[in-house]
Amino acid sequence: MKKQLFILSVIASLLAAPVFAKIEAVPNSMMIVKAKYGQSSNAKSISAQQAARIVKNKFGGKVLKVNNSGSKKKPSYRIKLLKDNGHVISVNVDAESGRISGH
């Protein structure tokens, strides 16, 4: 009985919670965009964790390091990844679009 009540309360809270993010499909990757009102146009759309997750989902392996790179007008993340085959790669992820480059 307690388990059923707990499950019901979790479902009810998920249904009642407002949605603050949306998922947009980008070719060969996925991007999570924070939906905030009044957000400036040059603010970062994705976090370093989200950028690392995008790269890990595409290439597999283990994320070794994530650095902020780019400029204020064009922010990006530089991610170093140890692939399952032992190779180390570094890629850039655009912080606004979630697109991967440099692989």
pLDDT digits over 41-90, tens only?
Answer: 555 489 999 999 999 999 999 999 999 988 888 899 999 999 999 999 99
Nearest to 31 by CA among 50, 49, 12: 50
Domain that holds residue 8: 2-101
Provide the pLDDT for residue 31. Answer: 53
Q: What is the CATH number of the domain that holds 35?
A: 3.10.450.40
Work out the average pLDDT over 18-26: 49
Q: How many domains does the chain have?
A: 1
Rounded distance between C-alpha atoms, residue 14 and residue 23, angstroms:
17
